[in-house]
């Protein structure tokens, strides 16, 4: 766990090629004084380091990366916001293909019964530039690995191809002048070219896994129409300040977050929520940067800029998820740490075994080269991060933000989901249905006093009281000495009189009985309403003034979403602070079964986390779904916290930080979609790891036994990485069902 005094530093790392490189970079960074933890990701070519705030610590980290033989880059260089050319970096591959093709031509001729063997000197002239110029990257990285007493893919390629090239030179120079020896220049040159081709295809595929990040960056307009003292002027978005007024025309993206001041429009927020239908916006409505203004010219007031905008937060969440290392990756790291030394040992045994068994030395070398080439652990290093990047990227397109890889890996195991009621399963905008006086009196005056006391609260019930007072055009004074009692209610002075408004439980805790209003309170609760009491405190004690009954509505589709989760074998539970009667009445409207323990009523905000922990202790893998500040402890306590965000603001930021997954649309059906993409992603990770391990387990013995020549081994090795990424990219075709 990172302490508040620690820093999180991201560094891009160039020239990593396989899982062994990841282990080597992590080892080098962990040696830097002050480093607490390191996570290096091969797919994003980046490292996230938790460090103590020591002077020049970032420079020391970059120096450690460079000393380990890799290239430190800016954190955002690995994922450029611009879309690179599909053929970027292909030139070395093209040159290698051009020079290797004539060398490989005799193999094709043999299939046709032709003998097109090039002169030895020409084979040498074609193969040598491929080996030592185009293949220089393998020697450079391999040398750094040797100096660090470790191994990597480059070292295997460098040793294997150099052995083939050197053997060919020796056979050529030692042959009699009138003979044409069988040389292996084509094997070394083709392997180098195939590895370069594989790395190029791999890089091209990796760019597709980062397309979600680039698409999010592209949503940011470069300029804004600022209303200044001299009229409307265009300024860079980076110069926009909070409280500035901006003009946004039809079809343009809102440059930053704010509120609508003038005009009426429909806004396309699909980039945030995945909701394809436009959202109607009137004056005072919240606007989110990156969303599209669908109708005419409107004026907005800026409320957040730069890193504080919703879009920046989304990008940060997706980047964090893609940079994180899934727990399952630990197995890969342990294997890759010993993989290359083991392969070198197997190659040596292969060489000696064939030679001592009577095979020619050149044949023994070729078998050993095939082992070195086919054993490169590229696919192992890419199996997990490629799937995570593709899964989190496509999820973000549908408004599902996965904050960390651990949540992604755990979500598919969830068998119990606890839902907060208000704002999660219900609309979250309760209305004041009944205002029942304890005795005859001025109902409007009392309602005005209640509205005054609640005027400073953001609680949904408090806003319902205010809305009811405003509907009747009541005028009320500002309260004094207001005190909020968590989970119970509010107390304060209005026009010199001391009032309390809170739950019936609180009133009873204070020793006040409902008296003749008790039957009415029970009747309202049985109707599914949430009942509060308004009390006046005097020198003589507490006096009950009125009952306030609030009603909320289930969210459209909530009942269907809960039914679908049940069909999948997932237990659903509703947690509510309401009294049991009101909570059970709402639960039945949602299709939940109170008799089956699917309702937890009268739960104080501080006790939600305790209830979640109790479910976990019962042997369940628990997800908690909530949308408010008071849900944050429960979200953090759950195995998987799922926050329902409100892009317009409210109290969901705290919930988002506590949760591993954030749903950008308040639709309960998205919970099932989040579990589904987790299941699909974990399945891809397992498939990739299986094939990566199986490839090496099968390939190394086949090469050692002589069933694979170096060219075939090189082609297979190059395609293994591409196949792993291509399999992960199938996740991009995923679409949530029932949304």
Residue 65 confidence (pLDDT) above 80: yes
Eight-state DSSP code of residue 112 = T
Per-residue confidence (pLDDT) for residue 648, from 0 to 100: 45
Residue 404 confidence (pLDDT) above 90: no
Strands (E), 290-394: 292-293, 298-304
Confidence of residue 720 (pLDDT cuts 50, 70, 90): confident
Say if residues 627 and 655 touch (Cβ distance below 8 Å).
yes
Residue 82 confidence (pLDDT) above 60: no
C-alpha–C-alpha distance, residues 688 and 382, integer Å: 8
Say if residues 302 and 204 touch (Cβ distance below 8 Å).
no
Q: What is the pLDDT of residues 520-579, one digit of tens each?
A: 998 888 887 888 999 999 888 898 999 999 888 898 889 999 999 999 999 999 998 877
Q: What is the pLDDT of residues 421-436, one digit of tens each?
A: 888 898 878 889 999 9
Per-residue confidence (pLDDT) for residue 160, from 0 to 100: 83
C-alpha–C-alpha distance, residues 108 and 116, integer Å: 9
Structure tokens at 399: 């408004």
Residue 83 confidence (pLDDT) above 80: no
Confidence of residue 499 (pLDDT cuts 50, 70, 90): very high
User: DSSP states of 292-318 as a string?
Assistant: EE-SS-EEEEEEE-GGGSHHHHHHHHH
Confidence of residue 662 (pLDDT cuts 50, 70, 90): confident
C-alpha–C-alpha distance, residues 353 and 417, integer Å: 59
Residue 230 confidence (pLDDT) above 90: no
Per-residue confidence (pLDDT) for residue 571, from 0 to 100: 94
Q: What is the pLDDT of residues 281-316, one digit of tens each?
A: 888 889 989 899 987 899 999 999 988 888 887 777
Per-residue confidence (pLDDT) for residue 81, from 0 to 100: 47
Confidence of residue 201 (pLDDT cuts 50, 70, 90): confident
The pLDDT mean for the chain works out to 84
Percentage of residues in the chain having pLDDT higher than 70: 88
CA distances from 465 to 370, 374, 456 (A): 78, 72, 12
C-alpha–C-alpha distance, residues 133 and 117, integer Å: 24
CA angle 290, 296, 297 (to 5 degrees): 75
Active site residue 420: yes
Confidence of residue 679 (pLDDT cuts 50, 70, 90): very high
Say if residues 165 and 69 touch (Cβ distance below 8 Å).
no
Counted residue by residue, the chain has a size of: 739
Segment 206-214 shows an average pLDDT of 66
Residue 76 confidence (pLDDT) above 60: no
37-46, 144-153, 473-482, 683-692: least confident range: 144-153
C-alpha–C-alpha distance, residues 549 and 267, integer Å: 35
Tokens 């990796």 — which residue? 206
Segment 505-525 shows an average pLDDT of 88
C-alpha–C-alpha distance, residues 370 and 151, integer Å: 17
Residue 108 confidence (pLDDT) above 70: no
Confidence of residue 451 (pLDDT cuts 50, 70, 90): very high
Burial group, residue 354, by CB count within 10 angstroms (0-12, 13-18, 19+): buried
Say if residues 209 and 389 touch (Cβ distance below 8 Å).
yes
35-39, 245-249, 400-404: least confident range: 400-404
DSSP strand pairing (530-538 vs 497-503): antiparallel
User: DSSP states of 56-100 as a string?
Assistant: THHHHHHHHHHHTT-EEE-TTTSS-SS---TTTT-HHHHHHHHHH
Can you name the residues that pair with 236 across neighbouring β-strands?
223
C-alpha–C-alpha distance, residues 394 and 389, integer Å: 9
Cα 667 to chain centroid, rounded: 19
Per-residue confidence (pLDDT) for residue 649, from 0 to 100: 44
Can you name the residues that pair with 323 across neighbouring β-strands?
none
Per-residue confidence (pLDDT) for residue 508, from 0 to 100: 86
Return the HEC string of 121-160.
Answer: HHHHHHHHHHHHHHCHHHHHHHHHHHHCCCCCHHHHHHHH
C-alpha–C-alpha distance, residues 538 and 154, integer Å: 83
User: DSSP states of 620-655 as a string?
Assistant: --EEEEE-SGGGHHHHHHSSEEEEE--TT-SSHHHH
Q: pLDDT higher for 718 or 181?
A: 181
Structure tokens at 424: 């999660």
Segment 113-128 shows an average pLDDT of 84
Active-site position among 257, 333, 404, 420:
420
For the entire predicted model, the pTM comes to 0.70
Query: Which domains can be identified in the chain, with CATH numbers?
Result: 7-73 (3.30.70.100), 223-254+257-304 (2.70.150.10), 399-427+554-672 (3.40.50.1000), 431-551 (3.40.1110.10)
Rg from Cα positions in the chain: 33
32-36, 109-113, 174-178, 303-307: least confident range: 109-113
Residue 322 confidence (pLDDT) above 70: no
Can you name the residues that pair with 572 across neighbouring β-strands?
417
């Amino acid at each position: 766990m990172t302490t508040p005094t620690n820093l999180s530093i991201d560094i891009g790392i160039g020239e990593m090629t396989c899982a062994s490189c990841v282990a080597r970079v992590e080892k080098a960074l962990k040696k830097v004084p002050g480093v607490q933890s390191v996570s290096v990701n091969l797919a994003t070519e980046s490292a996230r380091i938790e460090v103590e705030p020591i002077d020049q610590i970032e420079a020391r980290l970059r120096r450690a990366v460079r000393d380990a033989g890799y290239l430190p880059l800016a954190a955002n260089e690995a994922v450029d916001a611009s879309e690179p050319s599909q053929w970027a970096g292909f030139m070395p591959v093209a040159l290698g293909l051009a020079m290797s093709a004539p060398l490989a031509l005799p193999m094709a001729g043999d299939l046709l019964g032709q003998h097109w063997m090039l002169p030895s000197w020409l084979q040498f002239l074609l193969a040598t530039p491929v080996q030592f110029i185009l293949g220089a990257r393998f020697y450079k990285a391999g040398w750094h690995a040797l100096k660090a007493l470790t191994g990597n893919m480059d070292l295997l390629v460098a040793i294997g191809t150099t052995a083939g090239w050197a053997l060919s030179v020796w056979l050529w120079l030692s042959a009699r002048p009138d003979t044409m020896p069988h040389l292996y220049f084509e094997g070394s040159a083709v392997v180098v070219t195939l590895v370069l081709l594989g790395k190029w295809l791999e890089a091209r595929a990796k760019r597709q896994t980062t397309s979600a990040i680039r698409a999010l960056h592209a949503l940011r307009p470069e300029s804004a129409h600022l209303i200044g003292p001299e009229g409307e002027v265009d300024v860079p978005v980076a110069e926009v300040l909070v409280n500035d007024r901006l003009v946004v025309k039809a079809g343009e993206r809102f440059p930053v977050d704010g509120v609508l001041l003038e005009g009426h429009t429909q806004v396309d927020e699909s980039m945030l929520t995945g909701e394809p239908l436009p959202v109607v916006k009137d004056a005072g409505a919240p606007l989110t940067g990156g969303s599209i203004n669908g109708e005419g010219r409107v004026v907005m007031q800026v409320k957040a800029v730069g890193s504080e905008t919703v879009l920046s937060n989304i990008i940060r969440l997706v980047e964090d998820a893609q940079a994180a290392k899934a727990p399952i990756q630990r197995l890969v790291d342990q294997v890759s740490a010993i993989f290359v030394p083991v392969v070198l040992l197997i190659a040596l045994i292969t060489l000696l075994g064939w030679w001592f068994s009577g095979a020619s030395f050149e044949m023994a070398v070729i078998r050993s080269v095939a082992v070195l080439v086919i054993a490169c652990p590229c696919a192992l290093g890419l199996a997990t991060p490629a799937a995570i990047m593709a899964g989190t990227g496509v999820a973000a397109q549908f408004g599902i933000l996965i904050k960390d890889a651990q949540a992604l890996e755990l979500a598919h195991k969830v068998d119990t989901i606890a839902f907060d009621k208000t704002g999660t399963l219900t609309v979250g905008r309760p209305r004041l249905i009944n205002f029942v006086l304890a005795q005859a009196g001025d109902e409007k005056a009392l309602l005005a006093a209640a509205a005054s006391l609640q005027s400073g609260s953001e609680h949904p019930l408090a806003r319902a009281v205010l809305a009811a007072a405003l509907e009747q055009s009541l005028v009320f004074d500002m309260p004094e000495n207001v005190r909020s009692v968590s989970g119970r209610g509010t107390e304060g002075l209005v026009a010199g009189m001391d009032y309390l408004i809170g739950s019936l439980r609180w009133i009873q805790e204070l020793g006040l009985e409902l008296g003749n209003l008790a039957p009415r309170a029970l009747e309202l609760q049985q109707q599914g309403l949430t009942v509060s009491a308004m009390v006046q405190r005097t020198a003589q004690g507490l006096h009950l003034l009125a009952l306030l009954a609030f009603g909320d509505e289930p969210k459209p589709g909530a009942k269907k979403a809960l039914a679908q989760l049940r069909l999948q074998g997932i237990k659903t539970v509703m947690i509510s602070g309401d009294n049991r009667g009101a909570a059970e009445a709402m639960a039945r409207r949602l299709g939940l079964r109170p008799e089956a323990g699917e309702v937890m009523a009268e739960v104080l905000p501080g006790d939600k986390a305790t209830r979640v922990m109790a479910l976990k202790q019962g042997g369940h893998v628990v997800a908690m779904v909530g949308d408010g500040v008071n849900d944050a402890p429960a979200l953090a306590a759950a195995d998987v916290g799922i926050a329902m965000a409100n892009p317009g603001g409210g109290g969901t930021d705290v919930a988002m930080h506590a949760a591993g997954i954030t749903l950008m649309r308040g639709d309960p059906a998205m919970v099932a979609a989040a579990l589904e993409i987790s299941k699909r992603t974990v399945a891809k990770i397992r498939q990739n790891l299986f094939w990566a391990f199986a490839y090496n387990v099968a390939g190394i013995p086949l090469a050692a036994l002589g069933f694979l020549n170096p060219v075939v081994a090189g082609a297979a090795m190059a395609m293994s990485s591409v196949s792993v990424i291509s399999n992960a990219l199938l996740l991009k075709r995923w679409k949530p069902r029932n949304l």
